[in-house]
Structure 1
Amino acid sequence: MELRQLQYFVKVARKEHVTQAAEELHVAQSAVSRQIHQLEEELGVPLFVQKGRNLQLTSVGKLFLGRAEAILTELERAVMEVREFLDPEAGEIRIGFPHSLGIYLLPTVVAGFRQTHPNVKFRLRQGTYNSLIRDVVNGELDLAFISPFPERHEHVTGELLLQEELYAIVPEGHVLAEYQTIRLEQLKDDSFVMFSEEYSLRNIVLEACAKAGFVPRIGFEGEETDTIRGLVAAGVGVSLLPEMALTEISQLQPAKVRVIDPLVTRSIGLIQRKGEKLPLVAEVFHSFLMNFFDPYKK
């Protein structure tokens, strides 16, 4: 069994398509098909079945995928450790983050770290709450910023970094646009622009509205803070967004109003896989983050 066979198998399993896998691997489709066929012959079982134009893993294929991914992850980790041993300042940090932290927080901490570690590389992955935890557990990420911070989890551990306030955003012509503070119930008759169901900010907003005594009427849904902010600015509804998501100035700018009843916040934390030592360069970055966020904890 060759390493290339495992790499090709994992790529085809993820794409569910030989042609797309071959394109990402920058090899001929025939080469991918040949390696998969040889792997199946060596194992003595089919790993895929044809389903329409796509390939679907067999039950044995699903079992083998988990092991193959673990092998490739450990191999990648070993290569990184060797490189870090030769030159810790030339290592790579794999870090995940939700979109709402990619506007201000992530660029700020990366830029700050690179001032003293200019040769360190970052491999960044944006994701939802569940996908970030999954990628940390699977070893595909060293660290991940996450919100809300999971106080208890079977497979990940970490630190709470800060609590961030959410603000109401309304169109410039809205009756509450000039207010300094509002009660959330004052928006109960408005149409809300909400995050999709897989995003944790949606639940935070729904819970806040429940505390205020109403169920929001959802007019539009989006997957990024920029989209939601733009739709509100265009006059299609109102919403609640984290303060950091409102730092960027754009042509379509909603009015930002503080909500004092109830006060709406979200927790932001940093997670890593439980019971596993971080790579050296990631450990250095972790220490940097702890010092960076220390003032927010006081």
Structure 2
Amino acid sequence: MELRQLEYFLAIAEDLHFTKAARRMHVAQSGLSASIRALEVELGAPLFLRTTRQVELTQAGRALLPEARRALASISSAKDAVAAVQGLLRGTLSVGSLQCLHVVHLPAVLARFHELHPGVEIRMRQSGNADLVEEVRAGRLDLAFVTRQPKIADDLRVSALAGEPLVLACAPGSPFAGRESVALAELTGQSFVDFNPDWGTRDQVDRTLAEAGIDRHVAVEVNDVHSLLDFVAFGLGVALVPQSFALKTDRAHFVGLRGDTPAAETVVVTANTVGAAAGVLLDMVFEARAGRLRAAG
């Protein structure tokens, strides 16, 4: 099995089109097709279902896809590691993050990284927690900043960044607005504003309220922090949010939770083997995080 065969396979699997994949890989379509046929013969199974209208992965192709991605990512990491020994970082650094990463100012850290290592192309995307974790597992992201999940695959490494308590966000006219604290049980029957499922702290809040025996109604679902706080401020529902959200608006009121206060924990997820560029960025992130903690103290 050759590296080029895996690269051709991955290009077709992503485009689901032989002509587009050949154009992307700068190779004649006949050469690309011949390479895939040779790979299928070696593996003893067809990888694609080809018709006049479409291309689909077979069951064998779907099984090979994550392994091919991991293999190519490992080869890329090996090249980066050799370059790093020579004092040079190069290649691509793919980063995923949830919205409003309060524990570290990611744009500033990435800008500093780019200044120090201009030979590395930075790619950045935001998405839901599960999607970002799967992107890391599949080798499409080098690392991702997410809210801690109950279970993450054993082939991934999870490093804690910080945790902060959840608080109640409510409208100025809410009966809760003038309170010093609120018990979770008092939220029974309330309409909620929250993120879409798997987005931000939604899963954490779902688990927290389910464990408290509260069957809640989410009236408004959004995928950005500022919309969530605006809907809360106008009385469309209450929300459980990380304490740092209180810094983002003065139109909503924020009230602490009574008793054993649940916390939202932000973690960074990587493969067990971290590439050179990702390792440098992680060092910068934890250094920046330590600096913020010293400044706050």
Q: TM-score under structure 1 normalisation?
A: 0.74
How many pairs are equivalent? 289
Alpha-carbon spacing, 1:234–1:49, altered in 2? closer, same or farther (3 Å): farther
Match for residue 270 of structure 2? 272
Match for residue 255 of structure 2? 257
Matches within 5 A, 1:193-272: 193-199=193-199, 201-210=201-210, 212-249=212-249, 253-272=251-270
Please state if 1:286 is matched with 2:264: no
- List per-residue Cα deviations over 1:179-236 (Å, max 9, x = no partner): 4433333332221123333347233223332455422122233333344333323432
Please state if 1:69 is matched with 2:65: no
Matches within 5 A, 1:1-298: 6-15=6-15, 17-18=16-17, 22=20, 27=23, 34=30, 37-42=33-38, 43-44=40-41, 46-49=46-49, 54-88=54-88, 93-101=93-101, 105-110=105-110, 113-114=112-113, 117=116, 119=118, 122-148=122-148, 154-199=154-199, 201-210=201-210, 212-249=212-249, 253-274=251-272, 276=273, 278-294=274-290, 296=293
Alpha-carbon spacing, 1:29–1:108, altered in 2? closer, same or farther (3 Å): closer
Alpha-carbon spacing, 1:149–1:207, altered in 2? closer, same or farther (3 Å): closer
| Distance in 2, Cα, partners of 1:153 & 1:9 | 25
Tell me if structure 1 keeps the 8 A contact 2:77–2:276: no
Deviation at 1:57, TM superposition (A): 0.7
**Identity of matched residues, %:** 24
Gaps of 5+ in 1: none
What SS does the aligned partner of 1:101 have?
coil
Alpha-carbon spacing, 1:249–1:90, altered in 2? closer, same or farther (3 Å): farther
> 2:75 is matched by which residue type in structure 1?
L
Alpha-carbon spacing, 1:156–1:234, altered in 2? closer, same or farther (3 Å): same
Tell me if structure 1 keeps the 8 A contact 2:137–2:156: yes
What SS does the aligned partner of 1:77 have?
helix
Gaps of 5+ in 2: none
| Distance in 2, Cα, partners of 1:207 & 1:37 | 49
| Distance in 2, Cα, partners of 1:293 & 1:68 | 35
Tell me if structure 1 keeps the 8 A contact 2:49–2:56: yes
| Distance in 2, Cα, partners of 1:153 & 1:180 | 40
Deviation at 1:35, TM superposition (A): 5.5
| Distance in 1, Cα, partners of 2:52 & 2:169 | 46
Deviation at 1:100, TM superposition (A): 4.2
| Distance in 2, Cα, partners of 1:34 & 1:173 | 69
| Distance in 2, Cα, partners of 1:261 & 1:81 | 49
| Distance in 1, Cα, partners of 2:238 & 2:142 | 36
| Distance in 2, Cα, partners of 1:242 & 1:52 | 52
| Distance in 2, Cα, partners of 1:49 & 1:237 | 49
Tell me if structure 2 keeps the 8 A contact 1:80–1:92: no
Deviation at 1:58, TM superposition (A): 0.7
| Distance in 2, Cα, partners of 1:68 & 1:89 | 24
| Distance in 1, Cα, partners of 2:266 & 2:163 | 6
What SS does the aligned partner of 1:267 have?
strand
| Distance in 1, Cα, partners of 2:51 & 2:153 | 36
What SS does the aligned partner of 1:236 have?
coil
Greater shift, 236-245 or 192-201, is seen at 192-201
Cα RMSD (Å): 4.1
Deviation at 1:26, TM superposition (A): 9.9
> 2:17 is matched by which residue type in structure 1?
V
Alpha-carbon spacing, 1:229–1:98, altered in 2? closer, same or farther (3 Å): same
| Distance in 2, Cα, partners of 1:240 & 1:48 | 47
